[in-house]
Chain A
Amino acid sequence: MTNYNLTHLHQLEAEAIFILRETAAQFERPGLLFSGGKDSIVMAHLAQKAFSPSRIPFPFVHVDTGHNFPETNEFRDSFVEELGVQLIVGSVEDSINRGTTTEESGPDASRNALQSVTLLETIEQETLDACLGGGRRDEEKARAKERFFSHRDAFGQWDPKNQRPELWNLFNGRKGPGENFRVFPLSNWTEMDVWQYAKLEQIALPGLYFAHEREVLERNGSLLAVTDFVTPRENESSATETVRFRTIGDATCTGAVRSSASNLEEVISEVAASRVTERGNRADDRRSEAAMEDRKKQGYF
C-alpha cells in the first residue's frame, strides 16, 4: 500500500501555503511583512511556491528602523528583485521627522517599539487590509493564543479577548471598514522547524545567521554588535569574537551568540543543544514579563 503520511515539515508547508492562498483570496490588498529575517524569508519562499508560476500577488512591506545591519538591506534588495515583487518601505526615521512618534531617550533607547507607529501608518497609506507576518506561536508567551487570522480594530489594536475562534481549516477574514488583519502562516512552526525547512529546501539566508567575526560588546547580558548605533560606553569594552545571530532585528537590541556554526547543519545541531530561547537575547522582550503582550496591543507585529 502507498504511504500517505507526510513528515512534519511537509504538513507545516502544506498548511502555510493554504494560509497564504487563503489570504490572497479573502483580502483585497494584502502585503507581506518582510524584515529580512529567516522567518520572513521562509514565508516568502512559501509564497513563491503557493502561486508558482505566477509572481507573488502582493507587495512586500519593510518597516525600516534605520538601525538595520547593512547586510539586511542588501539581502532584502537583491531578494525582492529576484522575486520580481514590489517593495514598500515604511521608515521609522520619517515617522520621527513627521512628529508622529518620538525617539526614546535614555541609555537603552531603542526604535523597536516605534516600528508599530510606522507600520500602522504604512498600512493606512497603502490601504493594506491584511499583513502577512512571520510570527510563530512558540516565540513568546503572548503569541501562544494568537490566531492565524488575527483581527485588528480600526486603531490597529489587538484585543486578546475579542479574537475569533479558528476551527478546522476555516478562516474568517471578514471585517468592518478601517479594520484589518495580521496573518501568520508560520503559526505552528518552531524555531527548529524553520531551520530544518531552510535546510530541506536549500533556502539562502543572510550571512548574519552564520558564524563570522565581529566587534561586539556585552550589555545587560546581551552581546550587541558594535555599529554606528551601538558604541561602547564608559566601563564597557568591545572585542572581536566569532558570533552569529539567532534572530535579526534592530541592531540596537538584537543580541548575538558566540558560535562557530557556519552552515545550516551546524546551526541545527547548535539550536538542538541550546538551553536558551531565541528571543532570550532580545533586550526588547526582557523589559518586563508582559512586554510582548503590551507591544502587540499597540499594533506590533
Chain B
Amino acid sequence: MGEADAYLDMDLLRFTTAGSVDDGKSTLIGRLFHDSKAIFEDQLEAIERSSRKRGDDNVNLALLTDGLRAEREQGITIDVAYRYFATPRRKFIIADTPGHVQYTRNMVTGASTANLALILVDARNGVVEQTRRHTFIADLLGIKHVAVCINKMDLVGYKEEAYHQIVAEYRDFVSRLENVTELTFLPISALKGDNVVERSENMPWYEGPPLLYHLENVYVGSDANHVDARFPVQWVIRPHSDEHHDFRGFAGRVAGGVFKKGDEVTILPSGFSTRISRILSGSEERENAFFPQSVTILLKDEIDVSRGDMIVKPNNQPKISQDLDSRICWFSASRKLSRGGKFIFRHTTKEAQAIVSEINYKVDVNTLRKVEEIDGFEMNDIGRVMLRVSQPVFHDAYRSNRNTGSFILVDPFTNETVAAGMLR
C-alpha cells in the first residue's frame, strides 16, 4: 500500500475530556493539535491576534478551543465542543466538555459516544472532587478506557514521588468502579509539551509512552458487543418501481452482534421467524453486517415489519418489558423530575410514552454517596428511577450494550431533551 492509500487502514478513536478552567485541558488539546500539526496558519494567526487583544504574554493555545463569542467574553466553555485531528494511524474525535459541577450534563453527553476518557489531574493538587466526578461519569457512561494525565509536572519539579502518590490516591478510589477495564497513568506537562507528543527528557523515570502514542494505539476493537445480535429497524425501503417490484428492505444500523446471510432471525414484537435472504450496503451485496454498519436487510418471507421493530436471533433475545429500572441524568433547568412525570421516551428507533413510577435515590457526584428519600431531580442530578412505558421495550442492560441500553426523555410540551437514561 502506497503512502497516499495509508488512510484506507486508519481507524477512529472518540475520546472525551473534561476539566475546569485552570487544570490545563484546553492547553493540552491545543498542544496535541499544535505538535501533531493539526493547527493551520490562519487559525494560529487568529489566536495570536486574540492573545494580544487579551494581553496574554504567550500565544494562548487554549483560545483555539473556545468556540462562540458569548463564551470567549465570559472566558468559559459552556457546552460540548467537538474537535478533530488525525495522525497517519488514527482519526480522533474529541468531545471537549467543561468540568464544573453545573456542567455534569455536558460531561454525560460527551461521554455517551466516547471510547476513552482523558482525565486531567493537577500534580500540585492531586485527586480532587472534580477528578472523582469525571471518573464516576466516565464509568457510569460505560467508558472502558481511562487515561489519567497528571499534568503540570513541571511545577512539582518533575518528581517521581509526586506522580506515584497521585497514582496511589487515584487507584484507591477507582477500585469501586464498574465498567472501566483499562486505566493508564501519564505524567505530563501540557504547557511545556512533556510526554504529550514527544517523550519527555525531564522524566527519565517514566517508562510508558507519551499521550499521543497511547491514544494512537489503545485497542478499542473489543469494546462493542459483537455477540448479541440486534437490528433496530429504522426505515422500510419499498421502491415502487417496475424493476424492484417486490423489493422490501429493512434499513438500519446494527446495534450489536453480527448478522449473516442465511441466518435465522426473529422479528420483535411480532415474534415471527424467518431467514435473512440478502444484506445490502447501498447496491452492494454483503455476506454479513456488524456494529456499527448501516445496511439494508431483506427477509425470505413476507412479514410485516416497521420502524421501531427489532430483528434479533431466535436463541438470543433482548429483555422485553414495560417497566424499566434505570439510571438517569436530569438535564432540564426549567422543569424538575418528579414522580408521576410524563415524557416521550426514545430508545433505539422506537418512540413511546413513559411515566416516572418511582424515584429511588440520587448520587452525590462528589462523594459518590447515595441520597435517599428525595422528592425529585434537579438539573445535573444523577440517580435511579423506575419508568413505566406505554409499549414493551426490547432492551439490554447498558453495561452489555450501549445502543440497546440507552434512552432519552423528551418533554412533550417544550420538546426539549430533558434526561439521558441507562437501563439496568
Contact = CB atoms under 8 A, between A and B. Distances in A.
A173 B281 CA distance: 26
A241 interface: no
B105 interface: yes
Contacts of A190: 84, 86, 91
B70 A161 contact: yes
Interface in A263-301: 265, 268-269, 274-277, 280, 289-290, 293
A80 interface: no
B40 A145 contact: no
A7 B1 CA distance: 15
A98 interface: no
B280 interface: yes
A52 to B, nearest CB: 5
A175 B67 CA distance: 26
Contacts of A187: 82
B67 A165 contact: no
Interface residues of A, number: 66
A4 B112 contact: no
A68 interface: no
A165 B105 CA distance: 8
Contact of A175 (B50, B69, B415): B415
B161 interface: no
Contact of B415 (A6, A168, A174): A174
B80 interface: yes
Contacts of B50: 289
- Most A CB atoms within 10 A — which of B90, B243, B346? B346
Contacts of B4: 265, 268-269
Interface residues of B, number: 80
B177 interface: no
B234 A7 contact: no
Nearest to A143: B67
A197 to B, nearest CB: 10
Contact of B416 (A10, A25, A164, A193): A164
A164 B407 CA distance: 14
Interface stretch (A12-20, A58-66, A125-133): A12-20
Contact of A168 (B42, B113, B258): B113
Interface stretch (B204-212, B290-298, B317-325): B290-298
B203 to A, nearest CB: 32
B403 interface: yes
B293 A144 contact: no
Given A144-B82, A161-B70, A21 B294 contact: yes
Contacts of A167: 108-109, 112-113, 406, 408, 417, 420
Contact of B282 (A4, A49, A141, A188): A49
Given A52-B283, A53-B244, A276 B40 contact: yes
B247 to A, nearest CB: 6
Interface of B: 4, 7-12, 40-43, 46, 49-50, 65-70, 78-84, 86, 90-91, 93, 105-106, 108-109, 112-113, 221, 224, 226, 234-235, 237-241, 243-244, 247, 251-253, 258, 280-283, 290-294, 296, 307, 331, 344, 346-347, 349, 402-403, 406-408, 410, 415-417, 420
10 contacts: A2-B258, A8-B91, A11-B12, A25-B349, A52-B296, A53-B247, A144-B83, A172-B415, A187-B82, A277-B40
Given A4-B224, A8-B90, 20 more contacts: A6-B11, A6-B292, A8-B10, A12-B12, A14-B253, A18-B234, A25-B235, A25-B349, A49-B283, A52-B283, A138-B83, A141-B66, A145-B67, A161-B78, A168-B402, A172-B410, A188-B84, A268-B4, A274-B40, A293-B69
